[in-house]
Structure 1
Amino acid sequence: MSGDIHARLAALPAFPTLTGARVRLREPRTDDVDGVFALFGDPTAMRYWSSAPMRSRMQAEGRLEDMQAAFARGEALDWIIADRRSDRAMGTCTLFRFDARHRRAEVGYALGTAHWGKGLASEAVSLALDWSFRTLGLHRVEADIDPRNEPSRRLLLRLGFRSEGLMRERFFVGGEATDSELFGLLAQEWRRPVR
């Protein structure tokens, strides 16, 4: 499938909502501020993130504004991972760094610690991947994680990503230099997991 990714994003009639068995990926809203702050302010959830935990609710408000603005500019799709029944924010799943020429993007995700170990991140990322290959016509999706984050590593491998190398001391987080491991998934390798 060919075509300009940015044109496809611009042609979307609205922020896409993706629904799975237990989660829904939806547009960020101002009433998500407490959920976003609970997630990005939690040192445990942010242990392997590329920035320090948030310290104020105002930072969460700014993050939500940035998420909405990035979509308006066609630069990113920052979904809120919401519980399908309650619609309560549990995390985020993001497609970003779109490269139209090479038909690729990056995926990132974060989930509140109360929801770890239940397969919810896998379900959310699967929805985003399926949509990105089908709707945007991406050829490749990349992810980079802190290699010490074993649960995230297992999630990517389970979804079909391949580890493609280690970038040493790529980020400084709280004064500590951390490594980054790059993963890649090609469209022809994607097979949506059976639920």
Structure 2
Amino acid sequence: MCKYLQVFMIPTLKTKRLILRPLSRFDQDAMVDTIMSDMDVMYWLPYSDEVSTPEGQREIALGYITDFIKPWDEFGFGVWAVCIRDTELGTLGNFIGYCGFIPEQIEGAGPELVYAMGKSMWGKGLATEVSIACLDWIFIRLEIFCVHAVTDKENLSSRSVMEKIGMKHEKDVDLYDSVAKGEGLLQFYSIEREAYLRKGETEVGR
């Protein structure tokens, strides 16, 4: 009973076109269909080398979901399921990706913003839209002083999202075993709370 109560306490966020609702283990199939089974999407995400089989896709999807839900209890933040609100995008309520925060891996860097959208939703500005909603929530409601994100230097779309929401490229880092896997250093972007709040709506691409 307590676990179900915790889920209901996680806020639901809304943007013009999307709903960000609590993730659950019932999203495993949707996560597989939308993210893990699409190699074009997984190419940019951790554990992409482990989703070559349906069994691997389901295992990694459940691992993502577990890791995304767990921080809510300890840190008061986590990752949401991103679903359709505007029927021009598709069926109301359909799962199309995820966005939110995981705990920092670099001391003092603050929570890490993570996001992914199904390929059919690429190029519509949705990652920017949900990232802004998440930053609005975490900076206004929680005592969080900075947020960061990382991406491959060749992932121009992700870098564009980070820049549109006001993040700046600070340095390059070795995370998610990127160097050991031969992927090189990842680009580290960050933004401080006060800098984000000062920018206001129009200055972060809304």
Report the TM range for the smaller structure's normalisation.
Answer: 0.7 to 0.9
Answer yes or no: is 1:151 the counterpart of 2:160.
no
Q: How many residues matched?
A: 184
Do 1:20 and 1:123's aligned partners in 2 also have CA atoms closer than 8 Å? yes
Query: SS where residue 104 of structure 1 aligns?
Result: coil
Give the aligned partner of residue 180 of structure 1.
186
Do 2:101 and 2:111's aligned partners in 1 also have CA atoms closer than 8 Å? yes
Deviation at 1:62, TM superposition (A): 4.2
Do 1:50 and 1:173's aligned partners in 2 also have CA atoms closer than 8 Å? no
Deviation at 1:156, TM superposition (A): 0.6
Deviates more, 1:73-82 or 1:146-155: 73-82
Amino acid at match of 2:29: D
Do 1:169 and 1:177's aligned partners in 2 also have CA atoms closer than 8 Å? no
Answer yes or no: is 1:18 the counterpart of 2:36.
no
Amino acid at match of 2:19: R
Give the aligned partner of residue 57 of structure 1.
58
Question: Which deviations, in whole Å up to 9, do the C-alpha atoms of 1:7-56 show, x marking residues without a partner?
Answer: xxxx9970111100001111013332222112123210011223215333
Give the aligned partner of residue 165 of structure 1.
171
Give the aligned partner of residue 32 of structure 1.
27
Deviation at 1:172, TM superposition (A): 3.9
**Counterparts of 1:186 and 1:150 in 2: how far apart (Å)?**
22
Aligned residues with identical type, % of pairs: 24
Check 1:40–1:178 CA distance in 2 against 1; reply closer, same or farther (3 A cut).
farther
Higher relative contact order (CA 8 A, sep 6+): 1
Answer yes or no: is 1:136 the counterpart of 2:132.
no
Give the aligned partner of residue 193 of structure 1.
201
Q: CA RMSD in A?
A: 2.9
Amino acid at match of 2:61: A
TM-score, normalisation: structure 2: 0.77
Higher strand proportion, which one? 1
Check 1:41–1:71 CA distance in 2 against 1; reply closer, same or farther (3 A cut).
farther
Gaps of 5+ in 1: 1-10
Question: Which deviations, in whole Å up to 9, do the C-alpha atoms of 1:147-167 show, x marking residues without a partner?
Answer: 110000011111110000123
**Counterparts of 1:109 and 1:163 in 2: how far apart (Å)?**
17
**Counterparts of 1:102 and 1:22 in 2: how far apart (Å)?**
33
2:37 aligned residue (19, 28, 41):
41
**Counterparts of 1:62 and 1:166 in 2: how far apart (Å)?**
26
Give the aligned partner of residue 3 of structure 2.
none
Query: SS where residue 43 of structure 2 aligns?
Result: coil
Give the aligned partner of residue 111 of structure 2.
105
Deviation at 1:173, TM superposition (A): 8.6
Give the aligned partner of residue 4 of structure 1.
none
Deviation at 1:87, TM superposition (A): 1.4
Query: SS where residue 177 of structure 2 aligns?
Result: strand
Check 1:47–1:75 CA distance in 2 against 1; reply closer, same or farther (3 A cut).
farther
Amino acid at match of 2:57: S
Do 1:103 and 1:139's aligned partners in 2 also have CA atoms closer than 8 Å? no
**Counterparts of 1:103 and 1:63 in 2: how far apart (Å)?**
21
Check 1:177–1:112 CA distance in 2 against 1; reply closer, same or farther (3 A cut).
same
Question: Which deviations, in whole Å up to 9, do the C-alpha atoms of 1:84-112 show, x marking residues without a partner?
Answer: 2511111111212159x958221111111
